[in-house]
Structure 1
Amino acid sequence: MNVAKMIDHALLRPELTPEEVRQGCAVAARHGTASVCVRPADVAPAKAALHGTGVLVGTVVGFPHGSTPTAVKVAETRAVVEAGADEIDVVLAIGLLRGGEHDAVRDDLAAVVAAAEGRVVKVILETAYLTDEEKVHACRLAESAGAHFVKTSTGFAPGGATLADIRLMRATVSPAVEVKASGGVRTLEALLALYEAGATRFGTTATEAIVAEQAALERGERPAVPSPGAAGDY
């Protein structure tokens, strides 16, 4: 199994410089990740940096709180599509979901899916703030809105991906919808456990460490233990 092909290399921390984004794109290209996930303003330069590599460019909409009006999410989606984004990770309207306004949540997501014009849309639930019942509602609303993935976290909330949440999300959506784990995915062991639970894509800043762990294991060596991450570290 080539784990790099399941990784969205995350470049979302607000303090990243243009040079650091370019360096992050180089990491993704070197390891052949599924994609990079960059801030909206970084889509065009990331697209240029990754031209010809096969690495997709993803970005975020309504990030990180999900509370921007639908019209703003739609405008943001159209702007990043025009800039060259291949995939869109959108934060659902967390407060509306918790308030039981399910139609509004679904309509908000459906508008983003329409604006994405066929590109892959991943819906971020931000599971740290939700009950299990709310997670189930969120998954069902995302699927009914036409999303391609449901995703655990932004990386900026108090908690990230858990095995229990991945199992719940996988059991809730149909086979047509995939599950992305993000938030705290910093070791090969964690990634593989989440894969076994049902995730097929992984958002992480620890791409190099995870790939190095896999290479070390394939050589029969004991991999180094990565240091703990900080807020914004997938």
Structure 2
Amino acid sequence: MTPAPLTRAAVADMIDHTLLAPQASPADVDALIVEARKLGVYAICLSPSMLPVRAPGLVVATVAGFPSGKHHSLVKGAEARLAVDQGAAEVDMVIDVGAALAGDFNAVLADIITVREATRDRAVLKVIVESAALTDAAIVGACRAAEQAGADFVKTSTGFHPAGGASAHAVRLMAETVGGRLGVKASGGIRTAEDAAAMIAAGATRLGLSKSAAVLDGFPD
């Protein structure tokens, strides 16, 4: 059976409209919220220092341990807890990529559990594995650790790593590993409708985009 073509509205409902640039100002956040409402996206994703914000009708997401992941787990947990206290409904945490590359998935697991326990059931937890920097085996191991720790999503990338962002291969591998039990968020370097469609075809259930308008313009109404 041929899948139905992707529509602009369907794709918009998968988007975390993202502003994580270090130079972002409160005025930039206000503009992001206005644009997000105009585009009809699902959520906005902001740096935790920009919280709290007023964004009725939008899910507010933030990040923890971003972008390196080289923060102590307790610091990530405290950052996530404070963000949730300030209104974040979703937290995208960065794992210790070096631990995953070294095959120390017990450390990855403990890191994620710390953030999961800090947010409890008050927030959706997405785990950024930085897939472009990992081997396939490390991607699988990190995704399994995220599922074991009680995360809700696995996510490809921060968008800040020199190794690159999302790839259809990584999304497919992550989707196969979590088997529909967790969501899969593709993020990093997705700038066109063709990029977004490829990620969705590979198994992405959420998209992290900073160029949401340009991407959505490539889908039919």
Aligned mates of 1:24, 1:121 — CA distance in 2? 22
1:64 aligns with 2:67: yes
**Identity rate of aligned residues, in percent?**
44
> Which AA in structure 1 matches 2:96?
A
The alpha-carbon deviation at position 212 of structure 1 amounts to: 2.2
> Which AA in structure 2 matches 1:11?
L
1:89 aligns with 2:92: yes
Aligned mates of 2:51, 2:130 — CA distance in 1? 23
Aligned mates of 2:37, 2:119 — CA distance in 1? 24
> Which AA in structure 1 matches 2:86?
A
RMSD over aligned CA atoms reads 1.1
The alpha-carbon deviation at position 209 of structure 1 amounts to: 1.1
CA contact (8 A) 2:65 2:94 kept: yes
Aligned mates of 2:92, 2:142 — CA distance in 1? 15
> 1:230 matched to which residue of 2?
none
> Equivalent residues in 2 for 1:2-21 (5 A)?
2=9, 3-21=11-29
SS at match of 1:14: coil
Q: 1:29 aligns with which of 29, 37, 45?
A: 37
CA deviations 1:67-104 (Å, max 9, x no partner) are 10011011101110110100000001111122222112
Structure 2: give runs of 5+ residues left out of the alignment: 1-6
> 1:221 matched to which residue of 2?
none
> 1:224 matched to which residue of 2?
none
> 1:195 matched to which residue of 2?
200
The alpha-carbon deviation at position 174 of structure 1 amounts to: 2.9
What is the aligned residue count?
211
TM-score, scaled to structure 2: 0.92
Aligned mates of 2:32, 2:180 — CA distance in 1? 32
1:121 aligns with 2:157: no
Aligned mates of 1:188, 1:142 — CA distance in 2? 29
Q: 2:109 aligns with which of 106, 110, 127?
A: 106
Q: Which structure 1 residue ranges, 4+ long, deviate > 4 Å from structure 2? A: none
CA contact (8 A) 2:193 2:217 kept: no
CA contact (8 A) 2:64 2:76 kept: yes
Aligned mates of 1:113, 1:144 — CA distance in 2? 11
Aligned mates of 1:175, 1:127 — CA distance in 2? 18
> Which AA in structure 2 matches 1:20?
D
Structure 1: give runs of 5+ residues left out of the alignment: 219-234
CA contact (8 A) 2:131 2:157 kept: yes
TM-score, scaled to structure 1: 0.87
> Which AA in structure 1 matches 2:12?
A
> 2:3 matched to which residue of 1?
none
The alpha-carbon deviation at position 108 of structure 1 amounts to: 0.9
Aligned mates of 1:165, 1:141 — CA distance in 2? 16
Aligned mates of 1:175, 1:193 — CA distance in 2? 18
CA contact (8 A) 1:43 1:57 kept: no
Aligned mates of 2:161, 2:97 — CA distance in 1? 12
Aligned mates of 2:158, 2:19 — CA distance in 1? 12
CA contact (8 A) 1:38 1:59 kept: yes
